[in-house]
């Protein structure tokens, strides 16, 4: 009996230790482009008292699927990487608990779409142009979305069913053209626009600029891309704004830890390194962008703003598939 009681005591002690360890760990579900430096992780852990653990299974769409699959037994306390174009699914499914960081700067107040989402960074998905190609050919480049139909044979876009920027551009055209968006896309596809499977294929294989030697001098990419590709620029009137959010997972084991992580992502140190680490723009507009970004890769003043509540992702994708 004494041995049994001693064994039970050990089990109870180990169980208590396990619970304590779990309470001191915060697990964040992120997309696979998430980056914090070792120094930043160390700073977070020292300031918060939590050990940071991240799970990065894929892009934003994969994150949402993971949250849905594990709804009854959450594997993470918080999530980072929910973007504008998957917000509606997250809210409709009730996957997040209410929390908006009190550290959110005033410059980002208009980016808040729900009390369960805190904006962390932003970017523009835009048509990029090989300016050198157009100069060599003596051609006037396009400027607007309408112009692209005349240059469709020179354009590489990305499949919206398999790519986040691909869907962002589809959503932008649905917002810009309303009920006529299918007619617009029919013009692009019939005009010879290439639909690449993913961003890497489009930018590095199909695009004639950057490191590619492809046949397409127009490609769907980001407004930040020209900062790393001499001889390229982007078309401001073709851009669509994409915001990335963080949130606390509903029924999380450590919601306080998730809140601390979200607050940390809004710190000056993290916000200032977002361009370098994740090639996005900080939501804090007081943070100075790298020199190259200031010269050729600032956010577009003409970016299309998509209201995620007005678009049905599944319906858009089904209708796009029929066009192809």
Does any domain span residue 20? no
Does any domain span residue 6? no
> What is each CA distance from 136 to 133, 230, 324, in whole angstroms?
5, 15, 33
**pLDDT (0 to 100) of residue 160:** 92
CATH number at residue 215: 3.40.190.10
**pLDDT (0 to 100) of residue 177:** 97
What is the DSSP annotation of 152-197? Answer: GGGEEEE-TTT-HHHHHHHHHHHHHHGGGHHHHHHHHHHTT-EEES
**pLDDT (0 to 100) of residue 324:** 87
Does any domain span residue 32? yes
- 110 plus 172 within the same structural domain: no
- 232 plus 87 within the same structural domain: no
- 232 plus 173 within the same structural domain: yes
- 179 plus 109 within the same structural domain: no
- 33 plus 96 within the same structural domain: yes
- 304 plus 192 within the same structural domain: yes
Q: How many domains does the chain have?
A: 2
**pLDDT (0 to 100) of residue 7:** 40
**pLDDT (0 to 100) of residue 23:** 62
Does any domain span residue 307? yes
Does any domain span residue 10? no
Structural domain containing residue 42: 25-122+242-296
Does any domain span residue 51? yes
CA angle 181, 185, 188 (to 5 degrees): 145
**pLDDT (0 to 100) of residue 18:** 44
**pLDDT (0 to 100) of residue 33:** 87
The pTM for the full model equals 0.84
Q: Note down pLDDT in tens along the chain; length 324 residues.
A: 333 333 433 333 334 344 445 569 999 999 888 999 999 999 999 999 999 999 998 777 788 889 999 999 999 999 999 999 889 989 999 999 999 999 999 989 999 999 999 999 999 999 999 999 999 999 999 999 999 999 999 999 999 988 889 999 999 999 999 999 999 999 999 999 999 988 989 999 999 998 778 999 999 999 999 998 999 999 999 999 999 999 999 999 999 999 999 999 999 999 999 999 999 999 999 999 999 999 999 999 999 999 888 888 889 999 999 998
- 225 plus 276 within the same structural domain: no
- 75 plus 110 within the same structural domain: yes
Does any domain span residue 129? yes
What is the DSSP annotation of 106-151? Answer: GGGGGG--STT-EEEEEEEEEEEEEHHHHHHHT-PPP-SHHHHGGG
**pLDDT (0 to 100) of residue 11:** 37
- 35 plus 108 within the same structural domain: yes
Quick one: which H or E segment has residue 256?
A: helix 255-265
Quick one: which H or E segment has residue 60?
A: helix 60-69
**pLDDT (0 to 100) of residue 63:** 86
Does any domain span residue 78? yes
Give every CB contact of residue 178 below 8 A, 6+ residues apart in sequence: none
- 110 plus 247 within the same structural domain: yes
């Amino acid at each position: 009996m004494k041995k049994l009681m001693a064994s039970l005591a050990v089990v109870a002690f180990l169980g208590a230790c396990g619970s304590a360890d779990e309470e001191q760990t915060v697990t964040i579900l992120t997309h696979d482009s998430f980056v914090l430096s070792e120094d930043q992780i160390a700073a977070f852990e020292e300031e918060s008292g939590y050990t940071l653990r991240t799970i990065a299974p894929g892009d934003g769409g994969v994150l949402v699927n993971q949250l849905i699959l594990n709804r009854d037994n959450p594997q993470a306390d918080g999530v980072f990487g929910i973007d504008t174009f998957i917000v509606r699914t997250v809210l409709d499914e009730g996957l997040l608990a209410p929390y908006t960081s009190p550290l959110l700067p005033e410059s980002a107040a208009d980016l808040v779409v729900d009390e369960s989402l805190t904006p962390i960074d932003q970017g523009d998905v835009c048509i990029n142009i090989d300016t050198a190609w157009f100069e060599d050919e003596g051609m006037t480049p396009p400027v607007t979305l309408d112009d692209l139909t005349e240059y469709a044979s020179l354009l590489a876009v990305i499949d919206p069913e398999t790519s986040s920027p691909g869907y962002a551009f589809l959503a932008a055209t649905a917002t810009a053209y309303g009920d006529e968006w299918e007619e617009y896309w029919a013009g692009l596809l019939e005009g010879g626009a290439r639909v690449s499977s993913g961003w890497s294929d489009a930018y590095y294989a199909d695009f004639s600029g950057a490191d590619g030697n492809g046949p397409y001098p127009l490609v769907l990419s980001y407004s930040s891309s020209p900062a790393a590709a001499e001889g390229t620029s982007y078309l401001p009137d073709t851009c669509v704004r994409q915001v990335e959010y963080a949130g606390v997972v509903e029924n999380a084991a450590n919601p306080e830890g998730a809140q601390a992580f979200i607050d940390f992502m809004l710190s000056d140190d993290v916000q200032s390194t977002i361009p370098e680490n994740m090639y996005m723009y900080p939501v804090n507009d007081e943070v100075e962008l790298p020199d190259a970004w200031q010269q050729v890769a600032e956010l577009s003043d003409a970016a299309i703003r998509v209201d995620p509540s007005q678009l049905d992702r599944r319906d858009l994708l089904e209708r796009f598939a029929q066009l192809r």
